[in-house]
Amino acid sequence: MDNFRIYNTLTGKKEIFKPVNENHIRIYTCGPTVYNYAHIGNARPAIVSDLLVRFLKAIYPKVTYVSNITDIDDKIIDASEKLNIPIDELTTKYKNIYNEDMMSLNVIPPDFQPHATDHIPEMIEIIKKNIRNNKAYVSSGHVLFDVKSYPSYGLLSGRNQDDQLAGSRVEVASYKKNPGDFVLWKPSTGTQPGWDSPWGYGRPGWHLECSAMSEKSLGIPFDIHGGGMDLIFPHHENEIAQSCGSCNENANPKAYVKYWLHNSLLNMDGEKMSKSLNNILYIRDLLKDYDGEVLRMTLLSAHYRQPINFNSESLINAKNILDKFYRALLSSKNIKINMKKIEFPPIEVIDALADDLNTSKVFAEVNKIAKKLITSKDKNQKKKYKEQLLSVSHLIGILRKDPEEWLGINKVDSDIDSDLIEGLIKERELARIDKNYTEADEIRSKLANLGVEIEDTPDGTIWKSIKK
């Protein structure tokens, strides 16, 4: 495929995707720092990358997707001290919870999930190279990257170094040559975890972790680096600086990564999600009330570079859209499809994905297919549309449930008597045959009072319980 276009933060343009090696596409997305439950904002980069990887796997022969676990970080150290739990116990617990949550959102696990603590020798190696290339210096037990030594610093974020420094309100540490210099290695004291290094006992800076893990698992340069927009500066800017610094490449940031893909963030009813506003929504809690597919659909319903206002309305909208698609599948439940022989999704859907993952266009196309599936009378046509709907949903990771189960058809809460309902439906059918519509309507109201909604379909009347 030669018309996949992707918005590259590095150039600020939508570009035609030209892989480093078209026989093997390589992608890296920053994974979670594991010291707490993952919130719904953490799910967006994972779901966007999942969609991208599913699409690339459909159009290229080989794709390797890597997303890491940050299991050493000051936030982790703080949490472990506060909770009095050993660091590895804490990180293992929350890594497992994160992976389970992602599974519930139908995110396919990455091909590799490297852990930062398994890559300390690689990090030390990158630091050594940066020192050798005069990009980094040692000061009071720290190793710092010298941002003035790297002329391309600021290209990704579009920040001018001097503006950046002039506007800096943070007190500058005495061991830094310039306020913008960032830590590659820092000393560990007391109970802080650490490793031996040529610069003393210490631990790596966070930015360095992703440079080491991505290079070790993918080699550089690789094709696409993903993450939330909040990571553009300083995290990704610093990754470029130290990775290019390690190979002494000053002018071309693409010596590390060719395309940078950043997803926009979530708002909570117009406000940023934050601890201080007490509006953090954990995936685990949301899953108690919403199916993982609803959460996935909510996050996919807007283009990945648009912010999402995440609230109960957006969740209900997503649920309604899925209900509609499931109803279309239900309308054709008697048509058997061999999933192994299923064709590639229609070209309109592929084109929409190829246009910088335009999910709004994708769902508009899926909507058209679902409508045709419901309204078409011809069995062959119906089969064709059902195949199309299944192939698209398989590609984008939705509609994995049984339609009857999803819609709650012919299933009741334990306090509703299903024999009574079936009996009333039969009575209503007889009334309708007798053209006694008043009685039929009365029975419908009676059912509604019992918490049951009915729908007349070509295959007879179906019913479901309405949650009150």
Annotate 272-309 with b (16+ C-beta within 10 A) or e (fewer). ebeeeeeeebbbeebbeebbbbbbbbbbbbbbbeeebe
What x-and-dash track marks residues 419-448 binding Zn ion by CB under 5 A?
A: ------------------------------
Which listed range, 24-32, 88-96, 190-198, 419-427, lies at the site for Zn ion (CB under 5 A)?
24-32
- Shortest distance, position 146 Cβ to Zn ion, whole Å: 21
- Shortest distance, position 97 Cβ to Zn ion, whole Å: 20
Q: Is 30 in the site for Zn ion (CB under 5 A)?
A: yes
What amino acid is encoded at 264 in this protein?
S
Which listed range, 114-122, 202-210, 333-341, 380-388, lies at the site for Zn ion (CB under 5 A)?
202-210
Q: Is 210 in the site for Zn ion (CB under 5 A)?
A: yes
Which listed range, 51-59, 117-125, 210-218, 433-441, lies at the site for Zn ion (CB under 5 A)?
210-218
| Number of chain positions touching Zn ion (CB under 5 A) | 2
Q: Is 27 in the site for Zn ion (CB under 5 A)?
A: no
Contacts of 318 (CB under 8 A, 6+ apart): 294, 295, 297, 298, 301
CA distance 415 to 48: 41
CB-nearer residue toward Zn ion: 32 or 194: 32
- Shortest distance, position 278 Cβ to Zn ion, whole Å: 27
Which listed range, 28-36, 58-66, 116-124, 303-311, lies at the site for Zn ion (CB under 5 A)?
28-36
Annotate 235-245 with b (16+ C-beta within 10 A) or e (fewer). bbbbbbbbbbb
CB-nearer residue toward Zn ion: 131 or 213: 213
- Shortest distance, position 188 Cβ to Zn ion, whole Å: 21
Which listed range, 128-136, 206-214, 424-432, 459-467, lies at the site for Zn ion (CB under 5 A)?
206-214
- Shortest distance, position 114 Cβ to Zn ion, whole Å: 11
Q: Is 72 in the site for Zn ion (CB under 5 A)?
A: no
Nearest 5 degrees, angle CA 447-CA 448-CA 449?
Answer: 90
Q: Is 395 in the site for Zn ion (CB under 5 A)?
A: no
- Shortest distance, position 8 Cβ to Zn ion, whole Å: 18
- Shortest distance, position 391 Cβ to Zn ion, whole Å: 34
CB-nearer residue toward Zn ion: 32 or 180: 32
Which listed range, 25-33, 45-53, 241-249, 364-372, lies at the site for Zn ion (CB under 5 A)?
25-33
151-180 residues near Zn ion, rule: CB under 5 A: none
CB-nearer residue toward Zn ion: 214 or 298: 214
Q: Residues in the chain, how many? A: 468
Which listed range, 10-18, 23-31, 103-111, 160-168, lies at the site for Zn ion (CB under 5 A)?
23-31
- Shortest distance, position 31 Cβ to Zn ion, whole Å: 8
96-155 residues near Zn ion, rule: CB under 5 A: none
- Shortest distance, position 129 Cβ to Zn ion, whole Å: 19
Residues that bind Zn ion (CB under 5 A): 30, 210
